[in-house]
């Protein structure tokens, strides 16, 4: 690692005071970033400033403070549009999270057109958030879920993907990067193949948005979703990006204030996109926090983010992979900084609990990806997931803590 990059990472770490804290008397080594990343001071301070001095409800427009808040809220929308290189701010809808955004597409876009026997293509490595809304379409409307498998490296089976299309295919929903394996899927190719069959595609960008530079105009997907809490921002907010014509065709999913043009006792007409999809008071403070988080990432730059995380991933794969009795799940060369593993004879939950005693925070479980666990024939894995503030020393500490835990269980 160059001195320049090391200095940069040290500077970044200073923005995250939680990284200076201790758990069980040991320095915290936070490796549960795929679940939620920590927030830098730039985000928490902006939230405090906005909440203390600039807050009012938005779009009500008759007083100064509401205008200030509305401006900040719409600035956040513009920030997200810029972050994704969307053509227009109106393509950004604020939701309660990625899960909420996927449900919005299932109910707003797909449900009005789905008929019994229509097919939806998914992969076995989707997060439950990108599975269960489609199961609802199966249960309630007789849709058929077509599953694309993964190979032993944890890569999508592209031949199976192509073969999954039929004249009944109505929708494709796939992940850009697996939260359970770290695999980065060939997103552009997935989009192109779907479009060659005339089928719209949603990409789950929950992991992709924080680790990869995205360009919606180049990627050309119909829908893209991500969550604020994984991109160094607050929880309680997510983003749905949609192509303009797709959003225009989408039925409002939730009804309430702010999303209407007119309401009478026997009729209702809807407002414009994106407000049509933001019923009720939106996550105003969260949007402002998200904007600060995206600005923070843009300030670091994806060149730095990707270079540092790739080095961490390589180091972690080698260090964890070298430990006796360890199996790593997800060994594709195309993968981000997530290492999922198991240790022969020790339950991942036990590992995680013992490692926590040495300050190392990892996740253990099915990672909301039960079909994937089934594919690999395991009930759970342990997972270390990295962020821009993690260091190579922390990778070494992870390996040392894992080795110690294995010795402990014998």
Ligand X SMILES: Cc1ncc(COP(=O)(O)O)c(C=O)c1O
Which of 103, 123, 130, 342 binds ligand X (CB under 6 A)? It is 130
Site string for ligand X, 239-268 (x = CB under 6 A): ------------------------------
Options 103, 214, 227, 385; binder of ligand X; rule CB under 6 A: 227
In the complex, least distance from residue 14 CB atom to ligand X, rounded to whole angstroms: 27
Q: What are phi and psi of 103, to 5 degrees?
A: -60, -35
By beta-carbon proximity to ligand X, the closer residue of 203 and 326 is 203
In whole angstroms, the minimum distance from the beta carbon of 322 to ligand X comes to 27
Instruction: Supply 171's token pair.
Output: 């929708």
Q: Are 396 and 44 in contact (CB under 8 A)?
A: no
**Which position among 33, 38, 207, 340 is part of the footprint of ligand X (CB under 6 A)?**
207
Nearer to ligand X, 125 or 406 (CB): 125
- Token look-up 């309680």 returns 236
- Residue among 58, 67, 78, 83 at smallest CA distance from 283: 58
Q: Which residues touch 268 (CB under 8 Å, ≥6 apart)? A: 255, 260, 262
Provide the 8-state DSSP code for 53: I
Nearest distance from C-beta of residue 84 to ligand X, angstroms: 16
Q: What are phi and psi of 177, to 5 degrees?
A: -155, 130
**Among 38, 91, 99, 340, contact with ligand X (rule: CB under 6 A):** 99
CB of 385: closest distance to ligand X in angstroms? Answer: 9
- The site for ligand X, by CB under 6 A, has a size of 15
Q: Which stretch binds ligand X (CB under 6 A): 95-103, 240-248, 270-278, 375-383?
A: 95-103
Structure token digits, residue 352: 């995680």
Count of C-beta atoms within a 10 Å radius of residue 145: 14
Which residue number, 250 or 338, has a Cβ lying nearer to ligand X?
Answer: 338
- Site membership for ligand X, residue 175 (CB under 6 A): yes
129: contact with ligand X by CB under 6 A: yes
Would you give the DSSP letter of residue 251? P
Question: What radius of gyration do the chain's Cα atoms show?
Answer: 22
> Which one among 127, 211, 246, 275 touches ligand X, defined by CB under 6 A?
127
State the minimum distance, in angstroms, from the CB of residue 129 to ligand X.
4
Give min distance, CB of 312 to ligand X, in A: 18
204 near ligand X (CB under 6 A):
yes
Told to check if 97 binds ligand X by CB under 6 A, we report yes
175/358 with CB nearer ligand X: 175
Q: Are 387 and 33 in contact (CB under 8 A)?
A: yes
Residue pair 134/186 in contact by the 8 Å Cβ criterion: no
Cβ closest to ligand X, residue 330 vs residue 399: 330
Give the residue carrying structure tokens 């996740």.
363
- Please say whether the beta carbons of 4 and 334 come within 8 A: no
Which residues belong to the active site? 368
Instruction: List, in sequence order, every residue forming a beta bridge with 288; answer none if it has no partner.
Output: none
Q: Applying CB under 6 A, which part among 45-53, 92-100, 155-163, 357-365 lies near ligand X?
A: 92-100
Q: How far apart are CA 80 and CA 82, in angstroms?
A: 5
Pick between residue 228 and residue 252 the one whose CB is nearest to ligand X.
Answer: 228
Nearest one of 37, 38, 31 to 17, comparing CA atoms: 38
Query: Which is nearer to ligand X, 36 or 306 (by Cβ)?
Result: 36
CB of 228 to ligand X, least distance (A): 8
DSSP assignment letter at 228: G
For residue 33, state whether it binds ligand X (rule: CB under 6 A): no
Judged by CB under 6 A, which stretch of 49-57, 125-133, 252-260, 299-307 contacts ligand X?
125-133
* Residues constituting the chain: 410
Residue 179 is a binding residue for ligand X (CB under 6 A)? yes
Of the candidates 37, 206, 288, 395, which one interacts with ligand X according to CB under 6 A? 206
79 binds ligand X per the rule CB under 6 A: no
Q: Where does 200-283 have alpha helices with state H?
A: 208-211, 216-219, 244-249
Give buried/exposed letters for 79-105 (b at 16+ CB in 10 A, else e): bbbebbebeebbbbbbbbbbbbbbbbb
Contact set with ligand X (CB under 6 A): 34-35, 97-99, 127, 129-130, 175, 179, 204, 206-207, 227, 238
């Amino acid at each position: 690692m160059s001195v320049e990059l090391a200095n940069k990472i040290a500077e970044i770490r200073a923005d995250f005071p939680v990284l200076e804290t201790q758990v069980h008397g040991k320095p915290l080594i936070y490796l549960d970033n795929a679940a939620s990343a920590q927030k830098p001071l730039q985000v928490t301070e902006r939230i405090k400033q906005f909440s203390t001095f600039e807050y009012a409800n938005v779009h009500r427009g008759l007083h100064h403070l509401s205008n200030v808040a509305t401006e900040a809220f719409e600035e956040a929308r513009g920030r997200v549009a810029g972050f994704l290189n969307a053509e227009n701010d109106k393509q950004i809808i604020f939701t309660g999270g990625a899960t909420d955004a996927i449900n919005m597409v299932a109910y707003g876009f797909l449900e009005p057109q789905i008929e019994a026997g229509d097919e939806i293509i998914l992969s076995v490595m989707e997060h439950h958030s990108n599975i269960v809304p489609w199961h609802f379409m199966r249960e309630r409307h007789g849709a058929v879920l077509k599953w694309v498998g993964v190979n032993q490296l944890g890569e999508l089976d592209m031949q199976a993907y192509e073969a999954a299309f039929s004249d009944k295919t109505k929708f494709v929903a796939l992940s850009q990067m697996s939260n359970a394996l770290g695999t980065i899927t060939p997103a552009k190719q997935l989009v192109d193949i779907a479009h060659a069959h005339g089928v719209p595609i949603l990409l789950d960008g929950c992991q992709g948005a924080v680790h990869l530079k995205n360009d919606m105009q180049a990627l050309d997907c119909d829908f893209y979703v991500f969550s604020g809490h994984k991109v160094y921002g607050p929880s309680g907010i997510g983003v749905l990006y949609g192509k303009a014509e797709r959003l225009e065709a989408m039925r409002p999913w939730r009804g309430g204030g702010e999303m209407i043009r007119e309401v009478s006792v026997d009729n209702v007409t809807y407002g414009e996109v994106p407000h049509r999809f933001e019923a009720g008071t939106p996550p105003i403070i969260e949007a402002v926090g998200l904007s600060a988080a995206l600005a923070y990432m843009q300030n670091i730059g994806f060149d730095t983010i990707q270079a540092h995380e790739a080095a961490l991933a390589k180091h972690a794969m080698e260090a964890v992979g070298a430990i006796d009795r360890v199996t790593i799940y997800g060994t594709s060369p195309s993968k981000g900084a997530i290492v999922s593993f198991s240790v022969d004879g020790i339950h991942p939950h036990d590992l995680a609990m013992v490692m926590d005693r040495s300050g190392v925070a990892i996740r253990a479980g099915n990672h909301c990806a039960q079909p994937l666990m089934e594919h690999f024939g395991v009930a759970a894995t342990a997972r270390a997931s990295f962020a821009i503030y993690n260091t190579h020393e922390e990778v070494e500490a992870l390996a040392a803590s894992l080795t110690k835990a294995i010795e402990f269980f014998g």
